[in-house]
Amino acid sequence: MSPRTLFLSRLIGLYCILIGLSMMTRGQATVETVAALLRNSAMTLILGVVTLGAGLAMVLAHNVWSGVRSSS
């Protein structure tokens, strides 16, 4: 695997673990935050734009579409 693939997998994995733990420990605050976000369409749009930008950056930085798996 390329170093960039390993970096992205570690980054996304750590992010998911930290967000998951945060959501489990502060469940009610998470529900309230999501409810407030859904009531505010401007914030939903801003979050969508930021998320789209992050996703596009990830795809452009790691544009590997070979479909070939390594045996390691």
Q: How many domains does the chain have?
A: 1
What is the C-alpha separation between 39 and 29, in angstroms, rounded? 15
Q: Considering the domain boundaries, does residue 45 fall inside one?
A: yes
Assess if residue 66 is contained within a domain.
no
Residue 69 lies in a domain: no
- Residue 65 located in a structural domain: no
pTM score? 0.67
Domain interval for residue 8: 3-60
Distance of alpha carbon 37 from alpha carbon 1, whole angstroms: 38
Structural domain contains residue 16: yes
pLDDT tens for residues 16-66? Answer: 999 999 999 999 999 999 999 999 999 999 999 999 999 998 888 877 766
Q: Is 72 inside any structural domain?
A: no
Burial 12-38 (b: 16+ CB within 10 A, else e): eeeeeeeeeeeeeeeeeeeeeeeeeee
Which is more confidently placed, 68 or 14?
Answer: 14
The verdict on residue 67 lying in a domain is no
Alpha-carbon distance of 64 to 39, in angstroms, equals 38
